[in-house]
Structure 1
Amino acid sequence: MGKALVARAGEGKSYTVGFEYLPLEAWPAGEVAIRVAHSGLNYKDALAITGRAPIIRSFPMVLGIDLAGEVVESASPRFKVGDKVMVNGWGLSETRWGAYAERVRMPESVVQALPAGFSTEQAMQIGTAGYTAMLCVMALTDHGLQPGRDAVLVTGASGGVGSVAVSLLARAGFHVIAVSGRAEQEGYLRALGAAEVIGREAISAGGRPMAKERWAGVIDVAGGAMLADAIAQTRYDGIVAACGMAGGGALTTTVYPFILRGVTLRGVDSVMVPMARREAAWARLDAELDRDLLARLSVTRDFVDLPQLGLDLLEGRLQGRVAVRL
């Protein structure tokens, strides 16, 4: 029996979210049972907890898209009792029962070994947000961007994805331009390594599909008008890695930046990434992420705090990464 945060269908499209105790036998079939030590709080988690977006596809649903813990039962040749493992993405909290539970059961295909250099707490301080940030960095470096030469714009820089992206890029030697809608975040972002901190209005292209070339790469979590502005000012043969839509899903631009400047718009998904690339991203995080910096940009809170934390995240009262102690 383990405590879990569960969403149950209400009337119409509404649903309720509350803590329940679930026996392991109640879980869908899976080869690996895990005692969860830590989870994390991501933007998608906050939407599911608060009901502000239709994240959940079926009910009842155990919420949470990230977990790290220890194997307690295994019918898999890949994992044995006592192994430290983690799961993130793969439809958790959408179509598959998720991470916010003290005991879970998962198919072996979605479980991966915890990188040796991380504790379960550190892995969940990184979580899907930090792992997504690394996937974006990989997209930029795979394209050919080089530290010491290229400037990279990061939108939503004080959030979970943005904070980790700023720190990874700056440590690698890129000139990082951090965008934040909150002026009070400048000190925090410069401590992460941002060379410039600018407001949202400073990247406006005035509605033009092409404007002065200002950066070689972009990591964008906003979508909408901000993404269009970022594309308009990306240099020739640059790349824009788009991984979010906090500012909206519409994109109003033209083909001009893509044809006349050869700009690449690269969508970055974190949910269904093949295991090999997923493991490569976590290996790079293990090698490149400053642990002291991770501690400074993260906090760890208790399981019982989750409902309030989801609301706080959506209303802009949190910065950096939040791990959850189960």
Structure 2
Amino acid sequence: MSFLACRVFENKKLENEGKESKVSHRLVQMELDELTAGDVVIRVEYSSINYKDALAASGRGKIMKQFPLNAGIDLAGVVEYSDSPNFSKGDRVLVNGCGVGEQFDGGLAQYARVQSDWVIKIPESYDARQAMIIGTAGFTAALAIHRMQVNDQKPEMGPVVVTGASGGVGSIAVNLLSKLGFEVIALTSRKSMHEYLFELGANKVVSEDELGMSDKPLGKALFGGAIDNIGGKTLSKIIAHTQLWGNVASIGLAQSPDLEAKVFPFILRGVSLLGISSTNCPMPLRTKLWHQFGRELPLPDFETIVSKEINLKDVSPYFDELIDKKHHGRLIVNCQ
């Protein structure tokens, strides 16, 4: 059976030219037996383009551990074949993280073959399309909120600032925090995103200059907590301005991977810095969080958050466009 996939290749350097290898992607026709190993075959209905997918397929980030490989770190669809007693043909399922799109063939394809240990049945609260509007970005936001709440983050501690607020993780974080009763400060450098972020539930939408943060190692307590997508100096400043016993969830490094924080916020205010790694989240917790959407965790405003739905055959230009901030919220891909 032949099917379409967005496949990423490493172009190795030519002999005696001394050029570094580069990565490129193209749409190809594949056969099932060309896919990486697994005991469940899924007919993919929807996937999405995450920041990590954009870095991988464009070659602007070293994401993939082997080549060639199908891009796409998440997918939702229907089980076509299963060697596992836990899944049957026709089951509606999703997969995110677990190395798909990094070490194993991912979801930007019409079919995927995965390990059954990675597969989650889609709850009745939402369908496959909505699962990918949530996607890895929404799952990551949910994981950050979960870790903050486990560490006793409460609305009465003060506003939660969300950096990179118009991106996929940021958009859903703003929306979910607002629905959970938190005051939300959305941080963005894009004035065009203000109306969108207010619609998601932000109480304030500001640039970094408007936050009133200083360069002091321990500044005035401005935030009850934070979900940070950009890292670098901004993250360092936020830590220094977080309230007593507040939690700062660190997710991304769009600004920089460097962290220059001093120990004062940790030892004088009890601030906690929480690392959020959605790729290798333990499966029991991963399953729990996916099943909390629509129950303990509110469903996001799907049609507000999805900025565009594209077809698999049209994905190519969107990788660079996402990195270059030409889109907001979620880009979902119809693979049918």
Q: TM-score, normalised by structure 2?
A: 0.94
The equivalent residue for 1:258 is 266
Distance 2:89 2:223 in 1: 49
Change (3 A) 1:200 1:305: farther
The equivalent residue for 1:146 is 154
Change (3 A) 1:78 1:21: same
The equivalent residue for 2:72 is 64
The equivalent residue for 1:308 is 317
The equivalent residue for 2:226 is 218
Report if the CA contact (8 A) 1:204-1:229 is conserved: no
Per-residue Cα deviation, 1:253-284 (whole angstroms, up to 9, x for no partner)? 21111111111000010001111111121122
Distance 1:29 1:162 in 2: 34
CA RMSD of aligned residues (A): 1.3
Per-residue Cα deviation, 1:189-235 (whole angstroms, up to 9, x for no partner)? 11111111110222363322211001111000010011011101001
The equivalent residue for 2:16 is none
Distance 1:56 1:203 in 2: 37
For 1:238, the aligned partner's letter is G
Which 5+ residue runs of structure 2 have no aligned equivalent?
14-19
Residue pairs, 1:226-241, within 5 angstroms: 226-241=234-249
Distance 1:152 1:304 in 2: 39
Q: Aligned-pair distance for 1:104?
A: 1.4
User: Equivalent residue of 2:184, what SS?
Assistant: strand
The equivalent residue for 1:102 is 110
**Are 1:156 and 2:156 an aligned pair?**
no
**Are 1:191 and 2:199 an aligned pair?**
yes
**Are 1:270 and 2:271 an aligned pair?**
no
For 1:52, the aligned partner's letter is R
User: Runs of 4+ in structure 1 displaced over 4 angstroms?
Assistant: none
Per-residue Cα deviation, 1:18-67 (whole angstroms, up to 9, x for no partner)? 01111111122211011000001110011112110111111111111010
The equivalent residue for 2:173 is 165
Q: TM-score, normalised by structure 1?
A: 0.97
The equivalent residue for 1:3 is 4
The equivalent residue for 1:37 is 45
Report if the CA contact (8 A) 1:4-1:21 is conserved: yes
Pick from 118, 123, 130 the counterpart of residue 131 of structure 2.
123
Pick from 284, 289, 292 the counterpart of residue 281 of structure 1.
289
Aligned length: 325
**Are 1:295 and 2:296 an aligned pair?**
no
Distance 1:48 1:80 in 2: 32
Which 5+ residue runs of structure 1 have no aligned equivalent?
none
Distance 1:212 1:60 in 2: 50
| Deviating more after overlay: 146-155 vs 77-86 | 146-155
Distance 2:327 2:277 in 1: 23
User: Equivalent residue of 1:123, what SS?
Assistant: helix
Distance 2:329 2:90 in 1: 31
For 1:266, the aligned partner's letter is L
**Are 1:318 and 2:327 an aligned pair?**
yes
